[in-house]
Structure 1
Amino acid sequence: MSYLQNHLLIAMPSLEDPFFERSVIYLCEHNEEGAMGLTLNVPLELNLYDLLVQMKLPEPSEHLKEVPVLAGGPVHNDRGFVLHSPQPGFHSSRQLSDELMITTSLDILSTLGTDAAPEQYLVTLGYAGWEAGQLEQELLENSWLTVPASLDLLFDTPMVDLWQAATATLGINIWQMPQQAGHA
């Protein structure tokens, strides 16, 4: 099996898990040891401004009140992750692709809303994780569709439209998918 790092997982309509139903997940890592991703379309009842105030960071920009913080997944939902366009200089960053980095250190948060911030970014609390072989089994069970990630889907598509927009890149309407899929 080829690995799906830098791809999106799109929940099939039949996936009824309360957290993952109709979710779109960016896979930051996928290898023989398992997978780790960030859910991109489940907002928390928390905006970025309020999060930065709670963390006692310097007075954030008012426009961050319009930026949602996302529920990245059910694992370690007390840990923050910033998925962003490449920008070096943060303490704990990892290059995911030519177009994306992930940072987990606090130093990036103080730049958000300023000229020093990455051009594009999403902030999540928590992540989705799979043990070795677990995601592959879920793929065999037809729980997920996969598409290569694109900056347009990640940063420019409204969150409420992401599930359908990601599926549309495959040339299908998600609502026309059967609830149960078989294997030939």
Structure 2
Amino acid sequence: MEFFEFKNIDRPQKGDLLLSEPLLPDINFDRTVILLCEHNEEGSFGFVLNKLSILKVDEVLQEINSFDTSLYVGGPVQQNTLHFIHDIEHLRGGGQEIMDQLYWGGSFEKLLDLVQERKVDKNKIRFFVGYSGWSEEQLQQEIDQNTWIVARGVHPSYIFNTPPEKLWKDILEKMGGRFKVYANYPSDPKLN
């Protein structure tokens, strides 16, 4: 069942996905998919959706010791910070809406209570260490230089339910045309 139809966009907005172009030489963003959580005249930030940490959430947070779920590397900025995106009704009030049914943050104390009460569906929340950020106009300059492909039209359930190792390729294939060709580029063109 399809929840979306991805569209390529020249000007990003909050809720869009940024896909690194296939031959981006920056190891921090090699074949990454970033959820854009904010984009305005002051700058932009988001979280890498497909880069798993070697640790689990309950290994970095003692307060959440019974919640064995994946931890993602949200980006290279402030990797000593923890963030979460979710579609949990009881946390929406304290979070910032990214798009319909998807929020960033919220009351951490409320989250802890919900985890202890076993009322958090692991398929409706993702945790990140660090984030990806851009100063004013920096992201648009990178898009204009073909560093990023901007995709619009994702449904939150797709973010939570698509295996991270398949996300980048799957989105490009669904976009079709030249993007479908990008999805099959070898990681190292010299090996082609």
CA distance in 1, matches of 2:64, 2:159: 27
8 Å contact 2:14–2:99 — kept in the other structure?
no
The amino acid that maps onto 1:174 is Y
Q: For residues 22-78 of structure 1, give each alpha carbon's deviation from its aligned partner in whole angstroms, at most 9, with x where no partner exists.
A: 110000001111111000111111012322xxx3315414xx1xx220000111111
- The worse-fitting range, judged by mean Cα deviation, of 107-116 and 1-10 is 107-116
Structure 2: tracts of 5 or more residues without a match = 1-9, 188-192
Per the normalisation by structure 1, the TM-score is 0.82
Match for 1:56: what amino acid?
Q
Superposed displacement of residue 112, structure 1: 3.8
In the alignment, what sits opposite 2:15?
Answer: 6
Q: SS where residue 57 of structure 1 aligns?
A: helix
Instruction: Name 2:57's counterpart in structure 1.
Output: 48
Q: In the superposition, relative to structure 1, how do residues 9 and 49 fare at CA in structure 2: closer, same or farther (>3 Å)?
A: same
Residue 155 of structure 1, aligned match among 149, 160, 165 = 160
How far 1:3 moved relative to its partner?
Answer: 3.8
1:106 to partner: Cα distance: 2.7
| 2:149 alignment partner in structure 1 | 145
Tell me the TM-score normalised to structure 2 length.
0.79
Are the equivalent residues in 2 in contact too, given 1:11–1:23 (CA < 8 A)? yes
Aligned partner of 2:63 in structure 1 is 57
Determine the structure 2 residue equivalent to 1:21: 30
- 2:181 is matched with 173
Instruction: Name the aligned partner's letter for residue 169 of structure 2.
Output: Q
Q: Distance in 2 between matches of 1:58 and 1:2?
A: 38
Structure 1 counterpart of 2:104, one-letter code: I
Distance in 1 between the 2:112 and 2:174 partners?
Answer: 32
Distance 1:176 1:47, change over 3 A: closer
Q: Provide the residue aligned with 1:182 in structure 2.
A: none
* Structure 1, 96-105 or 36-45: larger mean CA deviation: 96-105
What is the letter of the counterpart of residue 25 of structure 2?
E
Q: Which residue of 2 is the match for residue 70 of structure 1?
A: 72
- Separation in 1, partners of 2:24, 2:15: 22
Contact 1:58 1:110 (C-alpha < 8 Å) held by counterparts: no
Q: 1:91 to 1:141 in 2, by over 3 A?
A: same
Change (3 A) 1:178 1:90: closer
How many residues are treated as equivalent by the alignment?
Answer: 172
Percent identity reads 27
Tell me how far apart the structure 2 counterparts of residues 157 and 58 of structure 1 sit (CA, whole Å). 24
| Residues 5 and 123 (structure 1), Cα distance of their counterparts in 2 relative to 1, 3 Å cut | same
1:111 alignment partner in structure 2: 114
| Greater shift in the superposed pair: 170-179 or 41-50 | 170-179
